[in-house]
Structure 1
């Protein structure tokens, strides 16, 4: 970043400017591969050369790979370099298909051929040196565990076969053309979805993540497709210049206005000659190009919710950062490209300061989810009402917001800052404030009571006795009240729905009569058990009398 860019960022994007300083000065990596040379392989000259290859071939992934935990950083480094070498062979337009196809199909076998290198790549191929010194990668590959080697070899074999099949399809005068959305998805699966599957497998093989993660093939595929489709759209102008075509004909050729994907560029014109800025042409081609851009961006966005689902499965912080960082950058890039005619003429990228800000935010599933929500709302503001895909856009953007709200309700917050008003937030804050007030009052009351106990223990004991007496008295009163209420309820019920004297009154009369006769005959003795037996006799006799009277009443 030049001085002008720094000044512009400080003035117009102060939050991002602060994020750059926070990242540069205060942020410590989750793990530093140099501090653990035994597991990262940094103590070997050959592996240090592989780390240099990683820096040469990847600007975006190198930093997050180096922060992975334990041996996983070395495993992912080798995995990346193997696939980068494979991709270099596929992208090399100087290699004839007869040479390229067999090499792609058998590339996974080269991993078991020590000393194998390839020096026939074109002189302008940017990653040519990796293939020239590929023997170092092979030697390091052989040091991996059998499980990791199996995952890398399998993904390499499947990816090479898929790439070869598309090169065969493109070996024609018109070149490779994706006919349908299915072809487009399959191609993205071969070049990126398989990468997602391989990474999930390696997370599990190294024991960093649960084996369940390796079984999530569909979600892993969505992770790769979201990134790959974003990159394909962003690199449209570059691909056109190099005669590559990846957008499906079902998208750009649906209405017959364009005969080839390259012609979609006809839909934009410069705002001013030599300005390097573009606008949609006020022509049928311009309108069609705008719809095509909307359609293909919408297709990429359809993977967003699945990406968020995958994030919930990850437990290790370094793995989460590794997966989340490119995804939040992808959603920001999609928002930047939406309704942006510059995409068709030049490579469009998010600001570096924004990228740093996103890296600092992408540290847990909740913050990643609400980063997606934030950019979904930005995109919703940019959708035109006359866009034929307007309803579909609303549905896809709504799915992101509904998912985030379902998993991480917005009214349950970790800070007091809230820019968006929500009635649930007010309800929650009101309840929380009243709860805090009650807790504070209770704490103050307890504190005063403890001070009184220390100052005058005799008064405290007297107060305790008084409380016990009051409690006992209230209990007796409540029991008496319940008994009286029960008796009165019984009388009301009986004399409303029945005839004659109620059984309770008959029992009291009989009990009185039997007790009087028992006292006259002196049947009470001095022993406790004798008195208990006499009492049982009185109640049983009274019960028998009442039972006899009730039977006679029923029979009569």
Structure 2
């Protein structure tokens, strides 16, 4: 059991940045549940962004993944992993490795508490369907350009707002009923969407070179930054509700860290000083998140 969990932790370290720092802050069993959930979403993201595939092939592989979530058995996972191992979809070695390790992720999914496993599957399927819907509006090479703010925000909901809703469902399972616990739902999607908007602002130039134009040309960039700030304020309220609901400090720190790092990234974007937060700043923000949540370093 420990070896399997260490394997999942290793996959997280290889395929994530911020969440690889944040997930270890969680208590068990949340830590493992969220780790498995993150990897499932990462598999979907990898298939959506599959640089070596065109639009129709990406949609087909997303459909394969949805079918797998309906039957995440050893046999079904091995079949999907073999397809992705023999025909790599990404230029990123670690993402291809994750697809090849789909069987290990599905084995851990099956080993979760049934309620948690069903919650993960339901939300990952919803997100994956949204990714496929977005790709259907792309050209044959999977290039697309959002023309409206509504299109941008709908996409952010598909790929990140739903993640916030999934996390909220997991958190609810360990919290006693209270007004503060019920209040989490109001900010759950905004929590995820804010983080995604920051990523889109940060990676806009690279995404455009790859044919993905998320920021509508007619929308002032400052408006998008303002929406991201509003969403990150919702993320701060979300953390306050968690504290009031009696969540463990590690849970509060888990949601606080990515919000603090996203705020720091937005500061850099607005100041025109680049978009990469330095390692020293990351270390300081980790300590800040822990202190804000009352968690031990």
TM-score of the pair, normalised by structure 1: 0.47
State how 1:149-164 maps to structure 2 within 5 Å. 149-164=117-132
State how 1:448-463 maps to structure 2 within 5 Å. none
User: Equivalent of 2:249, from 314, 317, 320?
Assistant: 317
User: Equivalent of 1:302, from 212, 224, 230?
Assistant: 230
Local SS of the residue matching 2:282: helix
Contact 1:104 1:160 (C-alpha < 8 Å) held by counterparts? yes
Q: Is 1:189–2:157 an aligned residue pair? A: yes
Change in CA separation of 1:183 and 1:200 when aligned onto 2, cut-off 3 Å: same
Contact 1:201 1:214 (C-alpha < 8 Å) held by counterparts? no
User: Equivalent of 2:19, from 49, 61, 66?
Assistant: 61
User: Equivalent of 2:269, from 337, 345, 352?
Assistant: 337
Contact 2:253 2:293 (C-alpha < 8 Å) held by counterparts? no
Distance in 2 (CA, whole Å) between partners of 1:133 and 1:304 is: 33
State how 1:373-392 maps to structure 2 within 5 Å. none
Q: Which structure has the greater CA radius of gyration?
A: 1
1:107 is matched with 65
Distance in 2 (CA, whole Å) between partners of 1:226 and 1:209 is: 27
**What runs of 5+ residues in structure 2 fail to find an aligned partner?**
none
Higher fraction of helix: 2
Distance in 1 (CA, whole Å) between partners of 2:32 and 2:142 is: 42
CA RMSD of aligned residues (A): 2.3
Local SS of the residue matching 1:362: helix
Runs of 4+ in 1 over 4 A off after TM superposition: 208-212, 364-367
Local SS of the residue matching 1:121: coil
Contact 2:236 2:259 (C-alpha < 8 Å) held by counterparts? no
Contact 1:203 1:214 (C-alpha < 8 Å) held by counterparts? no
Local SS of the residue matching 2:226: helix
2:284 is matched with 357
Contact 2:55 2:141 (C-alpha < 8 Å) held by counterparts? no
Distance in 2 (CA, whole Å) between partners of 1:210 and 1:337 is: 40
Contact 1:325 1:358 (C-alpha < 8 Å) held by counterparts? yes
- Which segment drifts farther, 111-120 or 46-55? 111-120
- Which segment drifts farther, 331-340 or 355-364? 355-364
Contact 1:197 1:214 (C-alpha < 8 Å) held by counterparts? no
Distance in 2 (CA, whole Å) between partners of 1:323 and 1:351 is: 20
Q: How far is the alpha carbon of 1:332 from its aligned partner?
A: 1.2
2:212 is matched with 244
**What runs of 5+ residues in structure 1 fail to find an aligned partner?**
1-40, 252-291, 368-556
User: Equivalent of 2:195, from 204, 221, 227?
Assistant: 227
1:548 is matched with none
TM-score of the pair, normalised by structure 2: 0.86
Distance in 2 (CA, whole Å) between partners of 1:145 and 1:236 is: 39
Q: Is 1:132–2:100 an aligned residue pair? A: yes
Task: List per-residue Cα deviations over 1:374-397 (Å, max 9, x = no partner).
Answer: xxxxxxxxxxxxxxxxxxxxxxxx
Distance in 1 (CA, whole Å) between partners of 2:176 and 2:45 is: 27
Q: How far is the alpha carbon of 1:80 from its aligned partner?
A: 0.7
Local SS of the residue matching 2:213: coil
Distance in 1 (CA, whole Å) between partners of 2:98 and 2:113 is: 23
Change in CA separation of 1:223 and 1:135 when aligned onto 2, cut-off 3 Å: same
Change in CA separation of 1:248 and 1:213 when aligned onto 2, cut-off 3 Å: farther
Count of matched residue positions in the alignment of Structure 1 and Structure 2:
279
Local SS of the residue matching 2:60: helix
Contact 1:54 1:81 (C-alpha < 8 Å) held by counterparts? yes
